[in-house]
């Protein structure tokens, strides 16, 4: 029986991955700062942070595989240093501890955002071979994830069995904390988004992305990355789809990019210095949306057998979810 550790296993994607591993008959342990109340029976929980080397070491004892999902998924923090501390430093600590053990596979969860340059430089189509630098990142969240992924790939070159996956925007049921894409869908469903960016988004069901992690562990090549993406949809089309599912009229006007950037700058300044609450449209999110890239997701489908479900099913399940 394979024993797998999932860091961040109490989060949106993590809980779906835990459920998928249990369904395969694996022994599962979770390392998370949250308690174990939200975890299914039979899951071994270690309460702690990936920034705590002793907690990471305890969680890794007796494990065969590691799925490193722990991180801050939000696009704004009052204290921006939190992104680097958890996403980059936490990853480095996890990799340091795994280097002392003999795991058969390590799957590092990165993000599509590290492949998207800002300001947009082209090409419009990006894939796993796209090269970006730290200066191309759209904000502190992206910089921290870029550095974390770079550490993971360097560890693979150093001999650790690391495979990197880059999920696109995660949606689906079971997201009580509301990651940015889920919050966007809930706002659309409530008719609370009178303005929108005329952009295109790649959305993937978190349940499918969780299975993609397992496929990466079983079929992914060490030292390579795989974009776990679903359907690319224009924002106007997404609004219409949500309207058809909820009965909301779908009245939302497109806002010019320059105006959206100016509003995002102002909104984030107020959040940083006045309200100390997340802005409705984080600057990083606006930049990523305006970058105007398309994601080539064919590698994961071809090499891993990754087959995400139709977006229509995901949207229906997301909007039906009481969370």
Could you tell me which of 231, 215, 219, 122 has the C-alpha nearest to residue 168?
A: 231
> Cα separation of 20 and 26, whole Å?
9
Counting every residue written for the chain, the total comes to 323
Which is it for the CA torsion 18, 206, 130, 115, positive or negative?
negative
* Burial degree of 212 (CB within 10 A; 0-12, 13-18, 19+): buried
Could you tell me which of 223, 233, 215, 206 has the C-alpha nearest to residue 294?
A: 233
Asked if 74 contacts 141 with a C-beta cutoff of 8 angstroms, the reply is yes
Active-site hit among 67, 141, 226, 248: 141
**Tokens 């969240």 -> residue:** 141
Q: Parallel, antiparallel, or unpaired for β 3-7 and 27-32?
A: parallel
Q: At what angle do helices 12-23 and 206-219 cross, to 10 degrees?
A: 60
> Cα separation of 44 and 40, whole Å?
10
Q: Is 67 a catalytic residue?
A: no
H helix intervals, the chain: 12-23, 53-60, 81-83, 90-98, 140-157, 180-189, 206-219, 235-246, 257-270, 283-290, 298-299, 311-320
Instruction: Kindly list the distances between the CA atom of residue 151 and the CA atoms of 52, 92, 157, 322, in Å, as whole numbers in the listed order.
Output: 18, 7, 10, 38
Q: Which two tokens stand for residue 28?
A: 């599962």
Catalytic residues: 141
């Amino acid at each position: 029986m394979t024993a797998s550790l999932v860091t961040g296993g109490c989060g949106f994607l993590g809980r779906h991955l835990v459920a998928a591993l249990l369904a395969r008959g694996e022994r599962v342990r979770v390392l998370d700062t949250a308690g174990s109340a939200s975890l299914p029976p039979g899951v071994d929980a270690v309460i702690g942070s990936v920034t705590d080397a002793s907690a990471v070491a305890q969680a890794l004892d007796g494990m065969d595989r590691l799925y490193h999902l722990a991180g801050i998924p939000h696009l704004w923090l009052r204290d921006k240093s939190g992104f680097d501390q958890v996403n980059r430093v936490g990853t480095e600590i996890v990799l340091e501890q795994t280097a002392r053990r003999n795991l058969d596979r390590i799957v590092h969860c990165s993000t599509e955002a590290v492949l998207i340059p800002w300001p947009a430089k082209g090409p419009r189509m990006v894939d796993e071979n796209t090269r970006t630098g730290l200066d191309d990142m759209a904000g502190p969240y992206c910089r921290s994830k870029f550095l974390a992924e770079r550490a993971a790939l360097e560890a693979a070159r150093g001999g650790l069995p690391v495979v990197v996956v880059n999920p696109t925007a995660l949606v689906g049921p079971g997201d009580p904390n509301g990651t940015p894409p889920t919050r966007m869908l809930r706002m659309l469903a409530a008719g609370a988004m009178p303005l929108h960016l005329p952009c295109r988004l790649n959305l993937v069901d978190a349940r499918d992305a969780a299975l993609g992690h397992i496929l990466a562990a079983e079929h992914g090549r060490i030292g390579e990355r795989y974009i776990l993406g679903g359907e690319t949809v224009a924002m106007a089309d997404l609004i219409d789809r949500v309207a058809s599912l909820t009965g909301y009229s779908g009245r939302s006007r497109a806002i010019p990019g320059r105006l959206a950037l100016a509003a995002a700058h102002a909104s984030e300044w107020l959040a940083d210095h006045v309200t100390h609450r997340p802005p409705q449209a984080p600057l990083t999110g606006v930049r990523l949306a305006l970058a105007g890239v398309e994601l080539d997701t064919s590698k994961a489908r071809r090499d891993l057998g990754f087959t995400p479900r139709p977006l229509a099913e995901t949207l229906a399940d997301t909007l039906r979810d009481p969370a």
